[in-house]
A and B are shown apart, each in its own frame.
Chain A
Amino acid sequence: KQEVTQIPAALSVPEGENLVLNCSFTDSAIYNLQWFRQDPGKGLTSLLLIQSSQREQTSGRLNASLDKSSGRSTLYIAASQPGDSATYLCAVVDDYKLSFGAGTTVTVRA
């Protein structure tokens, strides 16, 4: 059974600092990995999807890397802003099913 871990559970940084969020998974036989953002009381918003054949994916200030062999993905958010405060979740895709980590809650202090 796939297990997904996100460490740390919470992170607080001053505005302008770069954010580094970690995701690890136990089974490297994945189709892809997806990063999401969740604001309090809201659904999940897709940020980036990295296919298993890719090593990284970029969108604006966001960059996600994937190392299947070591079972790790990292989400980098450059020059953080207070609006980046949210919970970030990663999910690994195994055919039809996705397994989620518990998330990292980020607070960006103005």
Chain B
Amino acid sequence: SQTIHQWPATLVQPVGSPLSLECTVEGTSNPNLYWYRQAAGRGLQLLFYSVGIGQISSEVPQNLSASRPQDRQFILSSKKLLLSDSGFYLCAWRRGTGGNSPLHFGNGTRLTVT
């Protein structure tokens, strides 16, 4: 069976500090990978998605970046965090076979920028 791991679960970082959130998927190959952010009281905002190693699509221009160094690893980074980067970050995956496969989420990382 497939599982998705996301860490850390919670993170408190000062403004201007760097960020690295990691997500890995097990039990499948060549998944589509996604980073979403959920701000308090708001819906999910797609940040990045990837259909293969080294292939990253950005949905919202901001001070965040994503990388996919391995097939089942997806990393969200920032060089300098802003207060507005606070939120709940969710990694997700689905089979890379087009539109008819369900999306599965990790447990999320609660980021507080102080």
CB pair B43–A100 under 8 Å, yes or no, is yes
**Nearest chain A CB to B22 CB, angstrom units:** 15
Instruction: Judge whether A46 and B44 touch: CB under 8 Å.
Output: no
Among A13-21, A65-73, A86-94, the one that faces the other chain is A86-94
Chain B, residue nearest A4 (CB): B43
Q: Within A8-65, which residues are at the interface with B (CB < 8 Å)?
A: 31-32, 34, 36, 41-46, 49, 51
Given contacts A98-B46, A102-B42, A102-B43, contact A44 B90 (CB under 8 A): yes
Q: Mark B58-101, 1 if CB is under 8 A from A, else 0.
A: 01000000000000000000000000000000101000001110
Interface presence of B103 (CB below 8 A): yes
Q: Contacts A97-B49, A100-B43: A44 and B99 contacting too (C-beta < 8 A)?
A: no
Q: Which residue of A lies closest to B41 (CB)?
A: A102
Q: Is the CB of A91 within 8 A of B103?
A: yes
Q: How many residues of A contact B (CB 8 A)?
A: 25
Q: Label chain B's interface by main secondary structure.
A: strand
Pairs across A and B, CB under 8 Å, 21 listed: A31-B98, A31-B100, A32-B99, A36-B105, A42-B108, A43-B90, A43-B108, A46-B102, A46-B105, A49-B102, A51-B100, A89-B43, A94-B99, A95-B99, A98-B34, A98-B46, A98-B103, A99-B46, A102-B42, A102-B43, A103-B43
- Asked, given contacts A89-B44, A96-B49, whether A44 binds B105 with beta carbons under 8 Å apart, the answer is yes
Interface contacts beyond A32-B100, A36-B105: sample of 18 additional A-B pairs, CB < 8 Å, sorted by A: A32-B99, A41-B108, A42-B108, A43-B6, A43-B90, A43-B107, A43-B108, A46-B102, A49-B100, A49-B102, A89-B44, A91-B103, A95-B98, A96-B51, A96-B57, A98-B103, A100-B36, A100-B43
Q: Across the interface, do B106 and A96 meet the contact criterion of CB distance under 8 Å?
A: no
Identity of the chain B residue whose Cβ is nearest the Cβ of A94 in the assembled complex: B99
Cβ of B95 to closest chain A Cβ, rounded Å: 12
